[in-house]
Amino acid sequence: MLNLLFYFFSIVLLLSALAVVLTHNSIVSVLFLVLSFLISAILLILLECEFLALMLIIIYVGAVAILFLFVLMMLETKLKNLNKNIFIYFPFGVFINSVFFFEITNSISNSFLSNPYVNNFLYNTYCSWYGKVDSLTDIEVFGSILYTQYVLQFLVVGFVLFLALVGVVFLTSNPIKNHKNQVVFHQLSRNSVIF
């Protein structure tokens, strides 16, 4: 069942990565990029690398991809330039992808052929069941170290990020220059037109 989930999410990851490249609208392309980051984090969770999965979500999805999305939304791209013919570059892209695919399959096959521990599962090996029962996950280890030994550094980093957020909001806000202040006393002290 776990293998089927892994294969399903791998196929969805490949399709979303293709959609990032092939989509004409840049905002939709960034949304597919966010989807591919999330699915790669799910794959890392399936491989029991929880810390890397959470870092991928926090750094790439939370910062980089959302920053790309905001930049693209602020640029107000025109849709008239999106109808260009991209099939001119298709043979070159197929050539580059086939070279990468050949190199990856060649390196993987060479590493499996030269690895002496490939058939290690056929032999009886010693397994420490106490170590498996008493083991902590990597998130628990990082959390205990971060919140016990590096509390001050963690708070300083949080404060610096907060100052950066406040600075960005202050720099991007556009105060209205010709703003008329409303003074209630002047409005109420005027004579009525009717009387």
User: What is the torsional sign of CA 37, 39, 43, 44?
Assistant: positive
Q: Which of 23, 35, 24, 25 is nearest to 65 (CA)?
A: 35
- Least confident interval from 140-144, 157-161, 183-187: 183-187
> For the segment 48-77, what is each residue's pLDDT rounded down to a tens digit?
888 888 888 888 887 877 777 777 767 765
Between 118 and 84, the more confident residue is 84
Using CB atoms within 10 Å of the CB of residue 64, give its burial: 0 to 12 exposed, 13 to 18 middle, 19+ buried.
middle
pTM of the model: 0.50
Closest to 18 (Cα-Cα) out of 38, 36, 37: 36
